[in-house]
Chains A and B, each alone.
Chain A
Amino acid sequence: AQTVTQSQPEMSVQEAETVTLSCTYDTSESDYYLFWYKQPPSRQMILVIRQEAYKQQNATENRFSVNFQKAAKSFSLKISDSQLGDAAMYFCAYRSEQGGSEKLVFGKGTKLTVNP
């Protein structure tokens, strides 16, 4: 079974600075998807960024980018020019591409605090 590990329960960053959140995963599959979700205090889960495992190029979405290292099974999220609104729980998630599986496996999350 796949597992997702976020080794940083909490992180903090100064406004306008850059922060990187770590995520590693374990799988024997070659095709899969990886996601970062943001959960602000409102509790709604918001998709931040996604990465297809077959793509070598790292995904970017405005101030958010990933460092995808397939061999190392690592999928870190970099937030540039951090803003107060970025404060939230961030969850890394893995989704299988095989066998008709439709399930997401989530990490335990990293709480990000943004200091003014």
Chain B
Amino acid sequence: NAGVTQTPKFQVLKTGQSMTLQCAQDMNHNSMYWYRQDPGMGLRLIYYSASEGTTDKGEVPNGYNVSRLNKREFSLRLESAAPSQTSVYFCASSDGPGLRQPQHFGDGTRLSIL
């Protein structure tokens, strides 16, 4: 039971570099999400995808782009990384639009930008 798988687990970037965080789920869920978690803060939603082919902005979308490649995969891209994007990133999925399903989370990606 893999659930939600995120890669990589750790990454260090220089300011201005780009990178893509990968997320895949094997639960046939419709909805997928990207969150960031900063010290002393709860999770904040960056982007979400209610179904394959759709994406919507969350609370903190600036500086990020996403792609819902297929039902399984939802990637998060930083085009030009900034130190303010240093954070732990979580991908999650749920069986939406039925709102009665809780979200399942990946193990997180710790991203440091120098």
Which residues of A are in contact with B by a Cβ distance under 8 Å? 4, 9, 33, 35, 42-47, 50, 52, 91, 93, 95-97, 100-109
Contact = CB atoms under 8 A, between A and B. Distances in A.
Contacts, number: 57
- For the side of the interface on B, what is the size category? 20 to 34
- 10 A-B pairs with the lowest CB-CB distances in the bound complex, closest first: A106-B42, A45-B105, A43-B108, A106-B43, A108-B42, A47-B102, A102-B96, A44-B107, A107-B42, A102-B31
Interface in B31-46: 31, 33, 40-45
A65 B9 CA distance: 33
Given A33-B99, A91-B42, A104-B45, A44 B58 contact: no
Given A50-B102, A91-B43, A104-B43, 11 more contacts: A4-B42, A44-B105, A47-B104, A91-B42, A95-B99, A102-B94, A102-B97, A103-B58, A105-B42, A106-B42, A109-B42
Nearest to B40: A108
B97 A100 contact: yes
B90 A45 contact: yes
Contacts of A45: 43, 90, 92, 105
A79 to B, nearest CB: 19
A72 B69 CA distance: 43
A14 B105 CA distance: 29
